[in-house]
Amino acid sequence: MRRQRWSIALRLALLFSAIAVVILVVIGAYLYRTLATQMLQRDDMDLLNKATVLRHLLAGEESAATLRAAPGRVLSTVYGEGVSLRIEDGPGSLLVQNGVAPRPRGALSPVPLALDPRATDIRELPSGSGRARGVAVMAATADGAPLRVWLARERSERLLVLRRYAADLVGALVAGAAIMTLLAFAIVRHGLRPIRQVTAQTNEINAHRLNNRLPVDAAPVELQGLGVAFNAMLDRIEEGVQRLAVFGADLAHDMRTPLNTLMIETQVALSRSRSVEEYQALMASNLEEYERLARMIENTLFLARAENAQLKLDRGKLDAGAELSRIRDYFEGLAEEAGVALVLEPAGAAVALHAEPILFQRAVGNLISNAIAHTAGGGMVRILATPHHASTMVAVSNTGAGLSPERIDRIFDRYYRGDEARSMDGASAGLGLAIVRAIMLLHEGQVVADCSRAGWTTFALYFPNPGENDS
């Protein structure tokens, strides 16, 4: 069973609500604690004040007997305030009592007559309805008779107020949490509207509308980076689709020529009976076309694997001079046949480079064969290897008319062939330089075409040298 996913708006709303609830709980607990402390302090101060007042009243009584006979003036100080009062004479006889005595004698040590009662003299006392706070003080009548006074206030009334306050806090907390959740959900949903707009605009992009782009400037700051990255991805996809379309058209064009040749030659041969020699010549001609198709397919597959990084490189340290010498010897016969001088310029010292040997030979071989094909009889092709900053440069130069800026920009595209290349013998498929570029990308290097030197065209390969840790 698929688990239900919550929306971002709901998650954020609940998160904000939870944070607000925590804050409200902390504030409510602080307010509750503050109120309880203030009520306690207020009750304690009231007890101390009453104890002081009682001392003054008792000092005005003639004697303990007078107080026992007429306690009304003393009792009026605690009437209707929930305060229990108990007054005893020196021997311990009860003189005045209001309500239930706070605690039997001896539970509180009375504050001496010479000292004023303080908050530290108040103690917690058990009572019939729970807990109480009381204080005991010594007093005296006008005739000097000592008296003990106990005062206590029940906590039930204060606790009842605190319970009501706590219930109000909880109710306000629940109502506030519900309101905050709804408001947070509405605000977050409104804030996420740009994301829904981006989603709607993205849904409008398809294979036939790859030129659509997200409006980055109108997007919030948080989405601008995403919009830029998404538009850049669309640029790459659009470029890839366009290149694929051009590649398909070029591939179909280049494969059509050998296929048409095969069909026409076969139709001509079948139009009437031929001799064995004629059929052999036809088979030899067809074989050349088949080989051309095989090379085209092989090169296309190589490019596809290279651009998808499916080729594993086994790079090693090579002697550039020795490798270029072997490549020159291989192409020397082709150069002599074309009437072109193939020269390997010696370096002052041994030049090392790091590359995969087979791919290095293929890249340089493609450049040399391309240079020979585009060099007129009596011309020259030069090969050079030299250190260049943090890389090794291998350059292949040939004499000739050079390349126009338009051709330099497209010379490494698949199946691209300039008019001169197409006018040769039709053997080129326009993949040689594209393969060179793919090989250099695999080596994390680059290939550069240069026609700035008059009468010369130079293709330079830059193979990066690994650092000390990689060697």
3-state secondary structure of 128: coil
Strand partners, 153: 83, 133
Answer for the pair 137, 108: CB distance below 8 angstroms, yes or no.
no
Predicted confidence at residue 84, as pLDDT, reads: 85
At residue 327, what are phi and psi to the nearest 5 degrees? -65, -40
The token pair at 15 is 């998160």
pLDDT at 360 over 80: yes
- Per-residue pLDDT at 381: 93
Res. 370: pLDDT tops 80:
yes
425-454 burial, b at 16+ Cβ within 10 Å, e below that, comes to eeebbbbbbbbbbbbbebbebebebebeee
Beta carbons within 8 Å of 324's beta carbon, 6+ residues apart: 344, 364, 383, 385, 394
**Distance separating alpha carbons of residues 328 and 71, to the nearest angstrom:** 133
Q: Cα–chain-centroid distance for residue 397?
A: 49
Q: Packing angle between helix 193-203 and helix 156-191, nearest 10 degrees?
A: 30
Contacts of 299 (CB under 8 A, 6+ apart): 429, 431, 435
Note the pLDDT of residue 461.
Answer: 93
- The pTM assigned to this predicted structure is 0.48
DSSP character string of 261-328: HHHHHHHHHHTS---HHHHHHHHHHHHHHHHHHHHHHHHHHHHHHHHTT-PPP--EEEEHHHHHHHHH
Return the structure tokens found at 446. Answer: 């680059």
Cα 340 to Cα 332: distance, rounded to the nearest angstrom: 9
- Supply 226's token pair: 């995403």
> What are the tens digits of pLDDT across the range 146-202?
999 988 887 666 777 888 888 888 888 888 888 888 888 888 888 778 777 777 777
Euclidean distance between CA atoms 320 and 392, whole angstroms = 9
Q: Kindly report, residue by residue over 237-266, the tens digit of the pLDDT.
A: 877 777 777 667 766 766 777 788 888 888
- Yes or no: domain 221-307 corresponds to CATH 1.10.287: yes
> CA 320, CA 298: separation in Å to the nearest integer?
27
Phi, psi of 211 (to 5 degrees): -85, -5
CA 69 centroid distance within chain:
88
Q: Which are the contacts of 463, defined by CB distance < 8 A and separation ≥ 6?
A: 353, 354, 355, 360, 391, 392, 393, 394, 440, 443, 445
**SS3 letters across 389-433:** CCEEEEEEEEECCCCCHHHHHHCCCCCCCCHHHHCCCCCCCCCHH
* Measured CA distances, 349 to 332, 352, 385 (Å): 24, 10, 10
CATH architecture of the domain with residue range 316-464: 2-Layer Sandwich (3.30)
Closest Cα partner for 338 from 424, 420, 432, 455?
Answer: 424
Of 41-50, 344-353, 381-390, 447-456, minimum mean pLDDT range: 344-353
Task: Tally DSSP H helices, then E strands, for the chain.
Answer: 12, 12
**Residue 139 confidence class, pLDDT cut points 50, 70, 90:** very high
